[in-house]
Structure 1
């Protein structure tokens, strides 16, 4: 049944048989053009077929309709993300039965050119291979072209490298046109020094568990030549008082007792820093990477570090930060912080 006019839009209305041979009527309205209505009918009919003479994008929908009942919601979301961005756009209109090993190799080469991490390449390739395995098993595809093409990437990542603050600032500058992604990375970076810092960075848990006594040595913020020694585990006697020492061109010198905790050493918080000072320090560091941040995002960062909204507002006032409304959202201008 051809597409028909429905007021100012077009309607697609037709009959089809489901997988049990039962006849149904399909009716969908709201298409802007006749061509859109007819294309929707073609795609729907293709998805009801049991052979592979259908477009790749339509078979992807068949695949997801089946597996979404068998996999966790988070798994489905991840698979859908990979297909929508990295797979379907490349093979979109190509027939499933016509995709060859050479097509897979060409697609793999395009991915490799993007400079993705080896583990990410492996993950993307595995998703496409899983789709073709599904086609082989349930739709009688003769062979999986991904298997002949070979895999790409690595299953295990190489040793991890950490960014310095300067490298992170350089990375952020490349994301000016992606404000949501930029803010997500900023949130992760600046809240990494939150509470319970002593539970992070301990290296091997097994080593920490069997040791009778464990000392933490770390830098002290604002004192580049000073290091603190804090005992964080002691099964032999009472805990010792934190100590500090200084490193200089002339050598090593003990400074004696020092008032600082393990969380302050690992968390990058100055000794005895109150919440107001902590809030001001967070804003200063934030100002080093950006000139303007949405107020809600700053409140979220502060909350993760145990800083109240009132304390943050006081820090904002003391640092001379001005708020500006843009498109119904409030932003904090951080330029003033750099001058203090």
Structure 2
């Protein structure tokens, strides 16, 4: 079995002697678990091989009864540490695909326990070390990969390719963090995107009419930090968008938005909001909670004035007004604005309970 990742060798003995941390710089590595039969022993010996571009022959560590510990607290982030008994080295793993890392460590544990394993689960040493591609930019049809996208991709740009829908191999990119689909002909985003750890999603200059509420669930909800849906045909944004609490940048300019989600103000990390050129007649009161550094709402028909009831669009009748919205409207309509402290203190005396003799 093989695993592509970055590794760093930590020399524990040097730390003990010099009272300081000694380690090599992290470098791209292909880790291989392979078995080598020995003539004098009936049981083949298993080795952990670390092959790099500078050292394609690899650094070899015996596995049988030689693994002192496995540290897997951050395995979901593609990180782990393998502690070798002799020599006193720690193999520090980073930037690995989480699923493959779990499988690799599971096999390593089974070897360490002495389980009987078939030879097919092991691999031969690699003949060539090539770094896995993590960034891909496609700006024309002839650049589109004929054999599918590399599974390790973290950043993918498909721009100006007249793309109508996403293929299944894009939806299978488990490590994808940045997806740019600008200037295509996409009409609908597949809900399977919710399963990807996307931090930055750009789908501007397409033909999207609606964002499915289910889109902002799963991993996407907990990862999304930037969303650009500008230059589409959207009339509303789904309420589920407000569950993406890490969202910092939202651009929805040049659409047909008639209403914003009532819970928009609960996006506590949102600092830039662009709603230029839409059909908004009012803004939700929850936006008062936002701490925006940059906001653009020009070229919208914001005709309602403070203290006057606002017209309900067809979209707004689908969801009842939240309590904070109703309370804010009542305060504005009644003109109950904040008063100075001495006035508040004086008014509080009027409501003291009577002392009966």
TM-score range, shorter chain: under 0.3
TM normalised by structure 2 equals 0.26
TM normalised by structure 1 equals 0.27
Is the helix fraction higher in 1 or 2? 1
